[in-house]
Amino acid sequence: MKNNFETVDIILAAYLKVKGYKLLEIIRHGNRGTFLFTDVPAELVTEYDLGQAVVEPKALNNEIRALTTAARR
């Protein structure tokens, strides 16, 4: 059984995308969105919350821009 993970945090969503997790859906709320992923380990979210997440900055920036555009469509 797959566990879904939802977040409204676009930076966290971009981080998960850079880490290779599949974005299933963006549930739009006006200009904002809820990002739905599957099978995201709790440890990865904790790492992000504690400021210990490490990714390539340019890749993160590119994902933030792509998600921002997608959420506003």
Per residue in 17-69, pLDDT (tens digit) is 999 999 999 999 888 899 999 999 999 999 999 999 999 999 999 999 999 99
d(C-alpha 65, C-alpha 25), whole Å:
17
Residues 7/34, Cβ–Cβ less than 8 Å: yes
- What confidence tier does 1 reach under pLDDT thresholds 50, 70, 90? very low
Whether 73 has a pLDDT exceeding 90, the answer reads: no
For residue 66, give both structure tokens: 């792509």
What would the mean pLDDT of 10-22 be, rounded to a whole number? 97
- What confidence tier does 2 reach under pLDDT thresholds 50, 70, 90? low
Torsion of CA 9, 12, 18, 20, to 10 degrees: -100
pTM, two decimals, is 0.91
